Amino acid sequence: MEIERKFLVLDDSYKREAFGSSHIRQGYICSERGRTVRIRIRDARGYITIKGPSLDGGLSRYEFEQEIPLDDAEMLMTLCEPGRIDKTRWLVKSGEHTFEVDEFHGDNDGLVMAEVELRTVDDEPIIPHFIGKEVTGDRRYYNSQLRLHPYRTW
């Protein structure tokens, strides 16, 4: 079960605080409401992810992720629905949590969001100074929606 909160990011100070970063490309084989099948290439590694519906306004949902050979991920990307996500992910520690800050490129250039995975729905992370408005559950900010309705068109 994935439990996470999403936020907009106020400035780029997260880059100075990051302990790591990676380049991510992803596409969707299926992006129906309530279920998604995603193909992701993170640096030189491939993944397939299946996500179920959220039962609590976007805070949590079932997630299955499996690493797959890079060649398979590249081939599966050719089967994906139109639109791709291209982003750099920065990792920033805050207390016991790690915030994943996604700096989007291409059609979503200018959008920067942070996610934090929680252990329970009541878990309260220490919110870093660069975090702005919470957008948990706002479908416009789901990657599967950003590929269809890019940030630059808002």
**Joined tokens for residue 66:** 């499996």
Is residue 34 a contact partner of residue 52, using CB atoms and an 8 Å limit? yes
Q: Whose CA is closest to 41, among 7, 89, 5? A: 89
* Active-site hit among 14, 28, 141, 142: 28
Residue 107 neighbours by CB under 8 Å, 6+ apart = 83, 150, 151, 152, 153
Is residue 54 a contact partner of residue 61, using CB atoms and an 8 Å limit? yes
Helix, coil or strand: residue 79:
coil
- State yes or no: is 14 an active-site residue: no
Catalytic residue IDs: 28
